[in-house]
Chain A
C-alpha cells in the first residue's frame, strides 16, 4: 500500500497521528489512533507510516537539541500505547514482529546515562527494548535474551575496568553455543570500534545516535 493511494482524509489522519506523537500530545494521539481504527485503515500500514515516521522525527529533535532524554521516554511510551490501539484488531498471525533488543550496563558498572539514551532512542525508533538496568551479570543478559527470543544484546560500559564484562558476555554466548542467535552491540565512554572488533562484537555505537544507526544496520 502507498500513502498516495489513500483518500485525503485518511492521509490527513495518519499525518496528524504522526504529528501528535512527535508533539507528545497523548490525548490527541490516542483519539486519532481510535479514529484510524474506526476508518478501517490497514493498522500495519498506519503503524509503519505514523509511528515509524514519528520515531525518525523525534530522533531528529533530540539530535538538534530541541528534545531531551525525558521526551524520548515519553514519546516511546506513547508509541507503545498508540501501537496497542492500532494493533488490537490485527490478527495475531499478521502482527509484524518488532526486533527485540536486551540492553543494560554490564556487571560492576553503575552508570546509566548513556545506556538510557541508547535504550530510549531504540525504543522510540520502533525496537522492542528490554532495559535490564545497571550492574547486570553476563548470565542475566543471556537468560533474558533467550526468554524474549531477542535479536540483539546491547552492552554499555563507562569504566575501563568494566569493559572486560562486555567480552565476557560474548565469550559466555560462545561457550553456551548461542553466539549465532544474538547480535551483540557494545558502547560506552572508553569503548572504541577497535575494541568492539577485538572482542568479537557485531556492532559498536559511539553515542546514542550512532548506536541507533548501527542497530538498524544490523537488524533491519
Chain B
C-alpha cells in the first residue's frame, strides 16, 4: 500500500520535488513554514518582517532545490537559507538588534520561574526574553535560538551559520552566560 505523500520523509519529498512534483514541495512548505516563521520571528522580533522573510526563504528553497546535494539534510539547509535571509534583513535595516514585539501571539502555559526564584507571568517573561535576546549579537542570538528552539546539534548549527564548530560553541556558551548574568540581576 502506498504511503500518503503527507507521511513521506523530507528526503523523499525533496527527491519528488526535484523530479517536478509541486505537491511534494507543498507538503514541505506546510511542514516547515511554522518553524521557519517562528525562527525568523524570534530573530527579527517582527511578525510582518518574519512573514515576508519566510516567503523569501521558501521561494529561494524552491529555486535552488536542485543544489541540495544531500536530501537528508533538508532542514539544516532550509535554516541556512533562513539564516542568509535574516542576515540580509539586518544588513538592510542597518540595525544590529531586533525591535520589540509587535503583538505576536504566543500559545502555551502561563508562568515562568527564574533560577533566583522569581515567578513571571507569561507576557512579562515574553518581554523579558525579547529584551535579553536583543542584547546579544545576531550570531549569538541565532545560535541559541537554533539550539533551544530548533533543537539542532552544534554541528548542524555550524553548517547553518557556515562557521567552525568551536565558534558555535563559543557563541552559545557566551550568550547563555550573558543571559544568566542578566537574569540574576
Do the two chains belong together in a single complex?
no
